[in-house]
Structure 1
Amino acid sequence: MNYSSTLSAVVSALAAECIDNTSKQAWQRRIGEGEGRPGNGPAGVDRVELDCWVHGRLHSQLIPRHWHALVAKYSTHKARKVEAISALRALVATPAPALFLYKAVTAWAIPKLKGVQVAAAKTVTVEVPVQASAGKQAKIVAAAVEAARVKAKREEARSSGAIVLPAAFYDMNTWDPDASPESTRREWRRNIGKVLDEMVGEALQEAERILLAEGVLLSDAA
């Protein structure tokens, strides 16, 4: 069982951290009992166990900044992603204020998702006929509230499993308390993103070297 690319291996391995402990314990026990490592064929390791194994190999073999770059960019584990973002902030040299750096790194790691927003607390506005009986007025209000509740649940379902930031977070006007010129802010953001993208590129190259050495890439198996 092999991966088609380094990126697919990284994404799958990072996603493995979100699975339940039962699968993790299974692969740890199987590898510990000497049944062979994933990628070698007869060990009988399934995809979930392979993902867990690769996760462990990458975590142990990559240097911290490369690991943090991959986790910040590709992980779906909220706590790990936040930790990685915090670690990367300390590695980026920039003349931008600390608040700007924090928001730029966070926006890079959690880009705005089109059509997905954070559900905010809302009130319901409804027109109730004055001449209607009290019972009918109550039914009209209840129906409006229920419709709003259903809509909120639908929006919540769309964004479940993803880290979603408020739309206002991506407004660069809120990133710089000193109100520097827009051209300056854009340059700061571009350079911060460039440094982070370079880290990811380096990390993927190192990850590919590790995965090739372990024999879990299709290009190596072919």
Structure 2
Amino acid sequence: MTYRNVVSAVVRALASEVINSAGGCDFEPKVQKARIPGEISGKEAEFLFDCMVHAVLHKRLSKEHWRALTAQYSTHAERKRIAIGELVGTIQSPAPARFINCCVVTWAYPKLPGVEGKRSTNVLPAGWYEMDRWSDDPVPERTQHRWKAGIRKELKRLVDEALVEAQHILDMEGLISCQAA
């Protein structure tokens, strides 16, 4: 199996943490005519492959890069929360700690257009996205935007570095498709 690009590989690998087999009854036989007895195929093989890619990336990426990818792309709520908390402690900014925390959380859970938490569990309440609430002291709006831009730039840099490193790892393993579109 190969992935189209590094982002799809990372997203599938991180999603493999939350996939389970308790999704309902499957009465279709899993035996195929051309299948070798004992061979894993189909969705089960893809899932196993995603789990192996998860393990390879987790082992070979630096903790900083793994944390950034988990905060950005993971659907595992607890792992994402932990990664966000660890990221907050690494961000250098003149902004107060609460501002940095809120900025990183809203980066990891971006506000989706037209969604107010009704269809998705990964949407924060509307108040989280109001920068005026990110600090106890009144701060000029331009300063807030400057702090936010600096923090987001640092987070983007971390994710970009992590994706480049993941690309190298997956290329060495031959897991990225080389087909031109």
Q: Deviations over 1:120-152 (max 9, x none)?
A: xxxxxxxxxxxxxxxxxxxxxxxxxxxxxxxxx
What is the root-mean-square deviation in Å for CA atoms of aligned residues? Answer: 1.8
SS in 2 for 1:92: coil
Structure 2: gaps (5+ residues): 23-38
| Partners of 1:185 and 1:60 in 2: CA distance | 37
Match of residue 56 from structure 2: 57
Matches within 5 A, 1:23-42: none
Kindly tell me: are residues 219 and 43 of structure 1, through their superposed partners in 2, closer, same or farther at Cα, counting changes over 3 Å?
farther
Q: Tell me the percent identity.
A: 45
2:5 partner letter: S
| Partners of 2:60 and 2:178 in 1: CA distance | 21
Is residue 214 from structure 1 mapped to residue 173 from structure 2 by the alignment?
A: yes
- Scaled by the length of structure 1, the TM-score of the pair is 0.69
Structure 1: gaps (5+ residues): 23-41, 119-154
Match of residue 101 from structure 1: 100
1:164 partner letter: V
Highest Rg: 1 or 2?
1
| Partners of 1:58 and 1:43 in 2: CA distance | 22
1:101 partner letter: I
Match of residue 174 from structure 1: 133
SS in 1 for 2:58: helix
| Partners of 2:143 and 2:46 in 1: CA distance | 47
- Scaled by the length of structure 2, the TM-score of the pair is 0.84
Higher helix share: 1
Is residue 10 from structure 1 mapped to residue 10 from structure 2 by the alignment?
A: yes
1:201 partner letter: D
Shift of 1:46: 1.6
Is residue 83 from structure 1 mapped to residue 42 from structure 2 by the alignment?
A: no
| Partners of 2:172 and 2:69 in 1: CA distance | 19
Q: 2:123 aligns with which of 156, 164, 167?
A: 164
Q: Deviations over 1:76-99 (max 9, x none)?
A: 111111111001111110110111
Q: Deviations over 1:37-69 (max 9, x none)?
A: xxxxx9867211111110010001000110010
4+ residue runs over 2 A deviation: 42-45
